[in-house]
């Protein structure tokens, strides 16, 4: 006989029932179902039925339920931690993803930085390189920095073919304009036609600023007719990476979220170029929010190998220079965004000293890393553009007057230049034959977490600029979910203390690199990630120098004309951009790799051009 009352104990509740066989049977069934829904730990420890012989549930359904319950428990625990950071807006999947990334990537970097700079108390060593200025309105004296002395160009005649005009350098195009062999308006027409012609395949242009271009070109022609010459960029078309604001035109940042954004801001670099008479013909592709080469309209292709993408995020500037769609362009770099696409697309580019070019009106990823720089046909063109856009921007506290020597007057025979293990030896040998003292070199420092320091710096700063974007869930619209969304979710868990420790570690890196930099410049790989991180953290300039071409990997046949561009870097200490420019000009003065044209009009017989959806591809592009 069953006792008068039965007390049933389970982990989560206690129930009293009356004596009844039916109730007993129902109770056993209820207990069985309850066990299915309980966690694995609860099954192992304490699910006790009315009978002393009750067994732990071992069915497949129970196992799957246990797994789901454990995942929910894990996420629930994480939610409490996230709430302390005021970041409990993430869903369970994102929190678990962030936890995984933190364990694998974030925590090891935190520990490395602590070991570098946090073992001694007091904070007297390795100060952060972050800059603060409490002046509310910055007033600068007139920037009277002496300008460079450009070489003169004579006896340049207008080519018969527009393709040949499109690949002329800035000084040659300027000579044609000044000698009235071509007008700025006519030149604008040539380049706008090329933008329209090649963009359906390359996906390198976001907005063609046609009305503005013809207006500015007409003004440039009128000024010259009145005897007013604004300098070497007078009447020369160019493009801007679409993170740079121009009034009345979209500044999309390459992002679906911001693709209709119009900023009523005139970026400082745009002002400088406009005052020099340059003519804006297009806003060029940036990878979404300045990351890689994927943007809301597609993915930018490499003119030298159109089945390959450019990398980024200055994807549009690099592709457009390579394909002769603009004579020069302005890109930006926080960590490799000029160097990588320039190297892949076979163009010459300068990532200048940090602070050399003002950034007002430009999307900011990291105030202590962002830089604007020129992508061009040659080092001579890079020097001309840098000379126009450098100087103090009154609204950018990190920008400053940098009194560079004239790169056209540098005596390279008085320079000692190092070369490291991954340097392209053709560059080393050419410079040596031109009288430069070339010596083996290594850049020595003890910091092992260089790449982690850069990631902490860039990601935390970026998240500060896009906090609302993340909190509102707009990161779910991002074009490549394994890029900014993943990085910035993980950055949410980097504490202020650990961020500052990374900056102090960066300060130590700067000290060690400065001490190790015993040469005037050095030659080395421009796209090695460690060097990219070191160069950007220290703020040193680098020239990306095309040095030739090699066969593509797995060519369709030996008749393909597609190529892989090969490049190297010439690095100089901060404020010595003129040294890197002078050395590159010396190299390019006796080589012609930078003058080569990609086979976009003349592919091999077995090559194919990818056909983007809904693209209208002019027949001329398909010419074999």
Single out the catalytic residue among 38, 65, 128, 241: 241
Integer Cα distance of 321 and 315 in angstroms: 10
Element (H, E) at 350: strand 348-351
Element (H, E) at 569: strand 563-571
- Is 39 noted as a catalytic residue in this protein? no
Single out the catalytic residue among 337, 368, 378, 502: 337
**What are the residues whose beta carbons fall under 8 Å from the beta carbon of 370, sequence distance 6 or more?**
332, 333, 334, 359, 362, 364
Coil vs helix vs strand at 167: coil
- Is 111 noted as a catalytic residue in this protein? no
Integer Cα distance of 562 and 102 in angstroms: 41
Coil vs helix vs strand at 526: coil
- Is 313 noted as a catalytic residue in this protein? yes
Task: Phi first, then psi: give them for residue 407, nearest 5 degrees.
Answer: -65, -25
Nearest Cα to 277, choosing from 219, 237, 238, 234? 234
- Report angle CA 106, 108, 109 to the nearest 5 degrees: 65
Residue showing tokens 């069915």: 59
Contact, 265 vs 363, CB < 8 A? no
Single out the catalytic residue among 313, 322, 332, 449: 313
**What are the residues whose beta carbons fall under 8 Å from the beta carbon of 293, sequence distance 6 or more?**
285, 287, 299, 300, 309, 310, 311, 312, 313, 315, 341
Q: Alpha helix locations (H) across 51-169? A: 60-84, 92-101, 107-117, 162-166
State the sign of the Cα–Cα–Cα–Cα dihedral 600, 602, 604, 606. Answer: positive
Active-site residue numbers? 241, 313, 337
């Amino acid at each position: 006989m069953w006792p008068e009352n039965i007390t049933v104990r389970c982990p989560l509740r206690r129930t009293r029932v009356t004596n009844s066989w039916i109730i007993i049977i129902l109770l056993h069934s209820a207990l069985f179902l309850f066990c299915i829904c309980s966690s694995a730990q609860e099954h192992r420890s304490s699910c006790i039925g009315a009978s002393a012989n009750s067994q732990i549930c071992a069915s497949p359904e129970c196992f799957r339920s246990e797994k789901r319950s454990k995942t929910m428990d894990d996420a629930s625990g994480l939610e409490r931690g996230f709430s302390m950071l005021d970041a409990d807006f993430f869903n369970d999947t994102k929190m678990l993803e962030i936890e995984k990334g933190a364990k694998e990537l974030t925590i090891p970097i935190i520990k490395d930085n602590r070991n570098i700079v946090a073992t001694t108390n007091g904070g007297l060593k390795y100060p952060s390189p972050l800059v603060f200025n409490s002046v509310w309105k910055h007033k600068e004296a007139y920037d009277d920095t002496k300008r460079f002395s450009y070489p003169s160009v004579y006896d340049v005649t207008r080519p018969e073919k527009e393709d040949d005009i499109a690949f002329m350098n800035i000084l040659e195009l300027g000579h044609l304009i000044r000698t009235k062999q071509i007008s700025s308006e006519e030149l604008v027409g040539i380049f706008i036609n090329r933008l329209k012609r090649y963009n359906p395949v390359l996906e390198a242009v976001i907005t063609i600023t046609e009305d503005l271009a013809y207006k500015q070109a007409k003004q440039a022609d009128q000024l010259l007719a009145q005897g007013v010459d604004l300098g070497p960029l007078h009447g020369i078309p160019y493009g801007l990476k679409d993170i740079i604001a121009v009034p009345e035109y979209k500044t999309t940042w390459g992002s679906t979220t911001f693709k209709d954004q119009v900023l009523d801001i005139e970026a400082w670099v745009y002002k400088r170029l406009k005052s020099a008479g340059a003519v804006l013909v297009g806003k060029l592709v940036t990878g979404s929010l300045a990351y890689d080469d994927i943007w809301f309209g597609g993915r930018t292709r490499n003119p030298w190998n159109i089945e390959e993408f450019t990398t980024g995020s200055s994807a549009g500037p690099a592709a457009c220079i390579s394909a002769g769609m603009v004579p020069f362009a302005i890109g930006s770099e926080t960590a490799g965004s000029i160097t990588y696409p320039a190297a892949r697309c076979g163009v010459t580019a300068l990532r200048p000293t940090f602070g050399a070019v003002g950034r007002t009106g430009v999307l900011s990823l990291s105030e202590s890393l962002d830089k604007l720089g020129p992508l061009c046909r040659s080092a001579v063109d890079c020097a001309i553009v840098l000379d126009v856009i450098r100087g103090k921007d009154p609204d950018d506290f990190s920008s400053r007057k940098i009194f560079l020597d004239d790169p056209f007057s540098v005596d390279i025979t008085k320079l000692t230049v190092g070369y490291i293990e991954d340097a392209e030896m053709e560059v080393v040998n050419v410079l040596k034959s031109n009288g430069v003292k070339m010596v083996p070199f290594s850049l020595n420092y003890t910091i092992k977490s260089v790449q982690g320091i850069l990631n902490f710096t860039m990601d935390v700063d970026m998240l500060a600029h896009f906090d609302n974007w993340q909190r509102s869930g707009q990161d779910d619209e991002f074009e490549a979910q394994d890029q900014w969304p993943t990085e910035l979710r993980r950055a949410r868990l980097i504490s202020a203390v650990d961020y500052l420790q990374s900056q102090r570690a960066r300060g130590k890196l700067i000290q060690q690199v400065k001490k190790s930099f015993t040469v005037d410049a050095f030659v080395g790989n421009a796209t090695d990630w460690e060097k990219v991180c070191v160069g950007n953290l220290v703020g040193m300039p680098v020239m990306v120098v095309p040095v030739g071409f090699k066969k593509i990997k797995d060519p369709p046949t030996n008749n393909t004309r597609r190529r892989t561009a090969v490049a190297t870097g010439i690095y100089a200490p901060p404020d010595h951009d003129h040294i890197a420019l002078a050395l590159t000009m010396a190299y390019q003065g006796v080589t012609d790799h930078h003058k080569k044209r990609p086979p976009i009009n003349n592919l091999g017989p077995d090559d194919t051009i990818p056909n983007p959806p809904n693209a209208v591809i002019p027949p001329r592009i398909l010419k074999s």
